[in-house]
């Protein structure tokens, strides 16, 4: 069962309770006074509607339902320029147009621009219809045009200030990546992982990889971590002088033991390994060293 989401006052904060009687069908007499049918060609979508994309398939499903059952919840509109602008219900209006309806039920409210934008945002957030970028842009518009703080926006739509802040961080993405989120090619989880990178080119390159390889959010986070903290490359050992290598090989054969020559151009050292006193005396004999017997283990 879907979990109920805590919300703020929402639509009812901006539209009086009695207006919702018509929506809930709790008072038929009052509903008839508040709701009336309006010609669909007199209604315009809201230019400040935060939702920019509408799923064609879902609209067709809603249109089919409207054909069979009609519109169960009135649109909310406001009078503007010899017509009416949608405050809430653009998806229903689009589906009704597809269904061929000539008129739709509406509630008319003459609200200020700020309340209209808030209502449009609240409706979409409550229905979880907004893309993360659309939601972030809507919050930004409320802050820019109406001087609302992130905390005030959170109170109005029932979200914490931290949630508003995290969503608005998506506006820091490069335009190319933002468009991929808008087009639903990557999720908001992918986008938040990309925000950990500081290099825009890295963001865009990893975004393409997410799409091409269908990376999960977890896989994306791992790749981001590697980009931020690449493994240290071991320094390649300098190649040994071929002459020195040849001398080492010759000495190994002569003394029948491991030989290592190290050093720089003008000075260095030769190391010969031995594994017993007897082995040491053998090597010393080969070097021409006269052993006086002081190292003889038999004494």
Q: d(Cα 47, Cα 77) in Å, to the nearest integer?
A: 13
Q: d(Cα 285, Cα 277) in Å, to the nearest integer?
A: 12
How far from 256 is each of 15, 230, 244, 279, 281, CA to CA, in Å? 98, 45, 17, 10, 13
Structure tokens at 81: 């320029």
Catalytic entry in 32, 57, 90, 297 = 90
Q: d(Cα 163, Cα 172) in Å, to the nearest integer?
A: 16
Decide: 119 and 156 in contact? Cβ < 8 Å: no
Tell me whether residue 57 is one of the annotated catalytic residues. Answer: no
Decide: 43 and 103 in contact? Cβ < 8 Å: no
Phi, psi of 87 (to 5 degrees): -95, -45
How far from 83 is each of 33, 41, 77, 281, CA to CA, in Å? 20, 9, 10, 112
How far from 298 is each of 242, 253, 277, 278, 293, CA to CA, in Å? 43, 29, 11, 11, 9
Positions marked active-site: 90
């Amino acid at each position: 069962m879907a979990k109920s989401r805590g919300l703020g006052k929402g639509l009812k904060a901006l539209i009086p309770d009695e207006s919702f009687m018509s929506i809930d069908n709790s008072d038929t007499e009052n509903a008839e006074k508040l709701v009336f049918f309006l010609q669909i060609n007199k209604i315009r979508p809201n230019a400040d509607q935060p939702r920019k994309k509408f799923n064609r398939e879902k609209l067709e499903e809603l249109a089919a339902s409207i054909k069979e059952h009609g519109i169960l919840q009135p649109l909310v509109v406001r009078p503007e320029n010899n017509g009416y602008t949608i405050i809430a219900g653009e998806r229903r209006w689009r589906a009704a147009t597809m269904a061929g309806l000539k008129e739709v039920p509406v509630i008319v409210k003459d609200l200020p621009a700020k309340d209209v934008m808030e209502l449009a945002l609240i409706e979409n957030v409550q229905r979880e219809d907004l893309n993360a970028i659309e939601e972030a842009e809507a919050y930004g518009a409320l802050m820019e045009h109406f001087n609302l703080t992130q905390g005030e926006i959170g109170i109005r739509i029932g979200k914490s200030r931290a949630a508003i802040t995290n969503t608005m961080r998506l506006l820091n993405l490069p335009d190319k990546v933002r468009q991929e989120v808008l087009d639903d090619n990557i999720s908001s989880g992918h986008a938040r992982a990309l925000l950990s990178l500081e290099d825009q080119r890295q963001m865009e390159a990893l975004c393409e990889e997410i799409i091409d390889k269908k990376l999960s959010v977890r896989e994306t986070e791992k790749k981001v971590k590697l980009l931020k903290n690449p493994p240290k490359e071991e320094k390649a050992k300098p190649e040994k002088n071929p002459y020195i290598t040849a001398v080492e090989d010759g000495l190994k054969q002569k003394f029948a033991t491991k030989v290592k020559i190290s050093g720089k151009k003008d000075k260095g050292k030769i190391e010969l390994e031995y594994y017993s006193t007897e082995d040491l005396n053998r090597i010393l004999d080969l070097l021409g060293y006269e052993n006086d017997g002081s190292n003889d283990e038999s004494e």
